[in-house]
Amino acid sequence: MIKIDLKLQPEHLKKKLDLFWELSAEKIKLIDKNYDASKGSPVFTVNGKYSTRGWTEWTQGFQFGSAILQFDATGENYFLETGRKNTLEKMASHISHTGVHDHGFNNLSTYGNLLRLMNEGKIPLNEWEKNFYELAVKISGAVQAHRWTKTKDGGFIYSFNGPHSLFVDTIRSVRILMASHLLGHVFQGEGDVKISLLERAIQHIAATAKYSVFYGEGRDSYDIWGRTAHESIFNTNDGNFRCPNAQQGYTGFSTWTRGLAWAMLGFAEELELLNKFPDNSLKDFGGKAEIEKMMLKATKATCDFYINNTPVDGIPYWDTGAPNLHKMGDYLDKPSDPYNSWEPVDSSAAAIGAQGLLRLGKYLSENKKKEEGQTYWQAGLTVMNSLLDYPYLSTNPEHQGIILHSIYHQPNGWDNVPEGQKIACGESSMWGDYHAREVALYLKRIIANEKYYTFFNL
């Protein structure tokens, strides 16, 4: 399990963060200069160069969003202008894309971040520009909400696999429904029937908490506190849950750590947002107290599982049930080894999970549970201390990635195995790099005592 450094403070990471942003600027410019956009969105690196490979164009928002985050962190106008320009010219199709569950990834990373910067006063207020960003977020939320499967007890936003499929990682994409609702948008269906974006968001969160997260309550033989299933399968004829499954994990009965990390972060962010709603606004959806209880249970469970099933330095292997982990001995009792001969680590899961740990820790500390919150907060700092250092921080000026040893799809064998290695290693991913920048910005703003960074500063 993670060896939590209880003495580590955000300020102790300042030098590492400064180096991170310096390197990050170089990487973004390197991609801008050398990547062939005609091939599609950059997804992951192969021998240090970004390449495209994916089921959908789900990483383009991370590419342009990275530039926007870089501007937020450094104030360098180059990154603002390239983020603005590419959002205007290339992101429109993502707003109206009815075939994916990734709206909260693509569109909040671009339009949402630009709107946030304007509302925070980091870029000048321009009413037409602001309206443009707001409209994009509003429509994106409605399009995402339309991708809906009803169940016996609610419903969920279904994945690109089809109406039967609930992905655990969509818990972070559901933010776009909340953002659209906060901006006052009204989603309408057949006959002008008004459909509550808030209700659909809460129902999706509840479905994820119930079916994607396990709580050690005897649901099946593999029911362990906090483990997650990547995919949950439903019978669309009667709305009943059928079984856990996995696409990018090893099995439906093991835990794909990137999906786990997205659950950690998604639930933690939605917990923070819950405080913005007055009690009476949630009474028709089960009541604020019950919703908070459900979300807090899921957040704590997933964060606990991450802490207990990750090596001492906080960087996890790609799946906690990966078939060759047993050949590595007591791998949880020593630092992660990305160059081992048996199973890859996934640094992108660490970048995502670290932010979830930090946000949960802060949430608990501010809600009269300071001692409990401190454990998660320090765990998040511990993960970041490892992620911002060798062998995970990319200092090679020719490597286009910022965080090394990320994994995309181990079961499909899509990841690059460098010459002389037995497993995939040494590469970066667009989502891993984006989320590393996001959590680095989160800490930078904490250290500088700036406005607390949330996606709903809209």
Give the count of beta carbons closer than 10 Å to the beta carbon of residue 283.
10
Here the CATH number for the domain that contains residue 178 is 1.50.10.10
Which residues form the domain of 257?
Answer: 10-447
**Sequence-separated (6 or more) residues with CB below 8 Å from residue 356:** 261, 263, 264, 265, 266, 267, 268, 299, 302, 303, 306, 380
How far is CA 262 from each of CA 195, 229, 266, 287, 399, rounded to the nearest angstrom?
Answer: 27, 12, 6, 25, 26
Q: Which of 322, 355, 347, 339 is closest to 406 using CA atoms? A: 347
**pLDDT value, residue 56:** 80
**pLDDT value, residue 257:** 98
**pLDDT value, residue 54:** 67
CB 153 within 8 A of CB 211: no
| Interior angle at CA 41, CA 103 and CA 159, nearest 5 | 35
Distance CA 307, CA 229 (A): 17
Residue 21 domain-assigned (yes or no): yes
Q: Which of 431, 422, 436, 356 is closest to 393 using CA atoms? A: 436
**pLDDT value, residue 280:** 86
Beta bridge partners of 317: 345
Tens-digit pLDDT profile for residues 393-423: 999 999 999 999 999 999 999 999 999 999 9
Tell how strand 187-188 and strand 44-46 pair up: unpaired
| Interior angle at CA 267, CA 356 and CA 201, nearest 5 | 145
Is the entire prediction scored with pTM above 0.95?
A: yes
Residue 197 domain-assigned (yes or no): yes
Residue 1 domain-assigned (yes or no): no
Tens-digit pLDDT profile for residues 307-345: 999 999 999 999 999 999 999 999 999 999 999 999 999
**pLDDT value, residue 458:** 86
Residue 134 domain-assigned (yes or no): yes
Distance CA 431, CA 437 (A): 10
Task: Quote the strand ranges of 158-262, DSSP E.
Answer: 165-167, 187-188, 194-195, 231-235, 240-245
Residue 3 domain-assigned (yes or no): no
**pLDDT value, residue 111:** 98
Distance CA 302, CA 119 (A): 32
Tell me which residues of the chain have a pLDDT lower than 70.
Answer: 54
**pLDDT value, residue 372:** 96
Distance CA 176, CA 420 (A): 43
Residue 95 domain-assigned (yes or no): yes
How much is the mean pLDDT over the chain? 97
Residue 308 domain-assigned (yes or no): yes
Distance of CA 134 to the CA centre of its chain: 22
Residue 177 domain-assigned (yes or no): yes
The number of domains in the chain is 1
